[in-house]
């Protein structure tokens, strides 16, 4: 029977500083809203803060219409619906505005003044100014990593310090044993690991099961994950399993990412290929040639096979686990930043 253990998702934070720490670590887009000026009576004091994401809030600036407008404004900033205006701060983003205009908005700090009177249906009588700071508006990375050997363990040391989401999969429970918390045997039966919350270990007898949902998620394009970049990294202990994972990924590309009526012998739209998740597999040059030959013999389209990066990583020359991990992380970051 398949067994999957993942670190339990913690409850949503209630304090702004807990939310800030979590969303910074996870690479999730969020806004820090801060009261930077108070005149007269106001629901909260100077330097009160709250965090706003696309679907959650942490802490409060006093509730009511003030907080409602702060939340709406913060989400407009996250969605790219406001742009800077020299005389009036920000204004709604016109349809068809360029990516450059959105980039300017993302790099700016926005302040908004709120008179706490009839217009906001507040009876405080004073006024406040709120500063909005956007963080992690550049889409984060989402990585699906297969294998928990020396290179993968070294890679996690690097990914622990980067804004990303990582699902780390291996069929061998013992490979994650060193990461178990001392009090892993909790009352509710959950298993917790000494890993950052954005790195989630999975123990599963059939890792291939993770491929199709991950590729489907990458193509969904919902607002919470819009423009997120996806990476599949294959580095297990078994060459046969590596091949099965690569083949399952290519199958998912054809089934989910490319029109089902595309024939293998016809060319495929480059834009569709470019939108598919990155696929990399650790290997020697000999293993890479063997995999490619086997895939082509099985009538996989050459354009699809070319989506496979093998050997994985930049050519940095080192063969130690950390050196290989650095080369892999460097290649992922290079692609992520479109360098």
pLDDT value of residue 257: 67
pLDDT at residue 12 is higher than 70: no
Q: 31: helix, coil or strand?
A: strand
pLDDT value of residue 85: 46
Task: Please give the average per-residue pLDDT across 134-160, as a whole number.
Answer: 90
CA–CA gap between residue 53 and residue 30 (Å, rounded): 5
pLDDT value of residue 21: 87
Count Cβ atoms below 10 Å from residue 97 Cβ, excluding itself.
Answer: 15
Count Cβ atoms below 10 Å from residue 155 Cβ, excluding itself.
Answer: 27
Q: Please calculate the CA angle 93-99-103 and round it to the nearest 5 degrees.
A: 80
pLDDT value of residue 265: 46
CA–CA gap between residue 244 and residue 145 (Å, rounded): 14
pLDDT tens per residue across span 295-308:
999 999 898 999 99
Question: Measured in whole angstroms, how far is the alpha carbon of residue 322 from the centre of its chain?
Answer: 23
**Does residue 138 contact residue 336 with C-beta atoms inside 8 Å?**
no
* Phi, psi of 126, rounded to the nearest 5 degrees: -95, -150
List, in order, residues 6 or more apart from 28 with CB less than 8 Å away: 22, 53, 136, 140
Instruction: Specify whether the backbone of 330 is left (phi greater than 0), alpha (psi in -120 to 50) or beta.
Output: alpha
Q: Identify the residue with better confidence: 187 or 322.
A: 322
The pLDDT > 90 percentage for the chain reads: 47
Among 149, 145, 144, smallest CA distance to 321 is for 149
Confidence of residue 104 (pLDDT cuts 50, 70, 90): very low
Confidence of residue 87 (pLDDT cuts 50, 70, 90): very low
pLDDT value of residue 5: 39
Torsion of CA 76, 82, 86, 89, to 10 degrees: -20
Helices assigned H by DSSP within the chain: 16-26, 64-78, 99-107, 150-159, 211-220, 239-252, 270-274, 285-297, 302-305, 321-336
pLDDT value of residue 125: 65
Q: Which of 20-34, 42-56, 101-115, 171-185 has the lowest mean pLDDT?
A: 101-115
**Does residue 308 contact residue 296 with C-beta atoms inside 8 Å?**
no
Among 166, 170, 146, 147, smallest CA distance to 158 is for 166
**Does residue 35 contact residue 128 with C-beta atoms inside 8 Å?**
yes
pLDDT value of residue 121: 56
Q: What predicted TM-score, i.e. pTM, was given to this entire model?
A: 0.68
């Amino acid at each position: 029977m398949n067994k999957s253990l993942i670190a339990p998702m913690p409850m949503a934070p209630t304090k702004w500083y807990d939310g800030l720490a979590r969303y910074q670590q996870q690479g999730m887009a969020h806004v820090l809203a801060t009261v930077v000026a108070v005149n007269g009576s106001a629901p909260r004091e100077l330097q009160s803060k709250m965090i706003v994401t696309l679907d959650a809030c942490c802490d409060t600036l006093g509730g009511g219409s003030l907080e409602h407008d702060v939340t709406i404004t913060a989400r407009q900033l996250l969605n790219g619906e406001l742009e800077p205006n020299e005389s009036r701060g920000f204004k709604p983003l016109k349809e068809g505005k360029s990516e450059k205009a959105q980039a300017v908005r993302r790099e700016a700090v926005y302040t908004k003044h709120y008179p706490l009177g009839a217009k906001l249906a507040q009876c405080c009588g004073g006024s406040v100014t709120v500063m909005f700071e956007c963080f992690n508006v550049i889409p984060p990375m989402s990585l699906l990593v297969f294998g928990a050997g020396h290179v993968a363990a070294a890679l996690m040391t690097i990914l622990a310090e980067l804004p990303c989401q990582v699902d780390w999969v291996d069929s061998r429970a013992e490979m994650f044993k060193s990461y178990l918390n001392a009090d892993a045997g909790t009352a509710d039966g959950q298993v917790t690991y000494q890993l950052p919350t954005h790195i989630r270990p999975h123990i599963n007898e059939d890792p291939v099961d993770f491929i199709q949902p991950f590729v489907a998620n990458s193509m969904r394009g919902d607002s919470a994950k819009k423009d997120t970049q996806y990476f599949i990294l294959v580095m297990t202990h078994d060459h046969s399993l590596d091949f099965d994972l690569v083949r399952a990924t290519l199958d998912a590309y054809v089934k989910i990412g490319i029109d089902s009526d595309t024939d293998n012998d016809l060319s495929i739209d480059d834009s569709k290929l470019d939108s598919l998740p990155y696929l990399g597999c650790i290997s020697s040059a000999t293993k890479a040639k063997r995999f490619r030959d086997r895939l082509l013999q099985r009538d996989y389209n050459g354009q699809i096979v070319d989506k496979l990066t093998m050997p994985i990583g930049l050519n940095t020359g080192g063969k130690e686990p950390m050196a290989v991990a650095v080369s892999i992380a460097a290649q992922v970051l290079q692609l992520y930043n479109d360098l």
